[in-house]
Amino acid sequence: MKITGRQVEPDRYRSSGTGPAPVRPVETPAGRDDDFIRAIGHARARGAGQPALAARLDAFERPEASDARSYANARSIELLQHVIEGVLPTLDADDDIVGMAKKVIGEELEWRQAWEARMSDTMAPQADAAPGGDDAHDEEPS
């Protein structure tokens, strides 16, 4: 239901004689402001040579590769074994999920171990290799 043509007084809900109270500034001791301003100046001076917080956080996400052995296959094998033996048993998860995780990580571990074995086989010198090459043993005398 819509009522039209009815005039509502603008101050209908206010009691007469009350108006807005004048706004007065809050009185604070001057010493507290000076200490605060001095602390801000000190913090800005100390952090002037440093990059912004976002830049420092980004740097943590991308660590410098200072040691190439950290990315070696042997290190990844060691880390995968640690996850299977030390981390997965402590997880608060269903046995099915932990079992699937062990299976997937175990497969990755097997692939990396096989790769490491192949790499060590190709890098190791052959003990029975002739100085002339492998073809010297394969030839038949004529």
Question: Is pLDDT at 113 greater than 80 in this prediction?
Answer: yes
Locate the DSSP E strands across 55-112.
Answer: none
Is 131's pLDDT higher than 80? Answer: no
In 3-state terms the chain splits into helix, strand, coil percentages (rounded to 5) of: 55, 0, 45
Cα separation of 74 and 112, whole Å? 8
| Residue 137: exposure state from Cβ atoms within 10 A (0-12, 13-18, ≥19) | exposed
Whole-angstrom Cα distance, residue 132 to residue 54?
61
pTM (2 decimals)?
Answer: 0.42
Which tokens is 117 given? 């074995």
Q: What is the dihedral of CA 84, 90, 96, 99, to 10 degrees?
A: 10
Tell whether the model's pLDDT for residue 140 goes beyond 60: no
Domains of the chain: which residue ranges?
A: 69-123
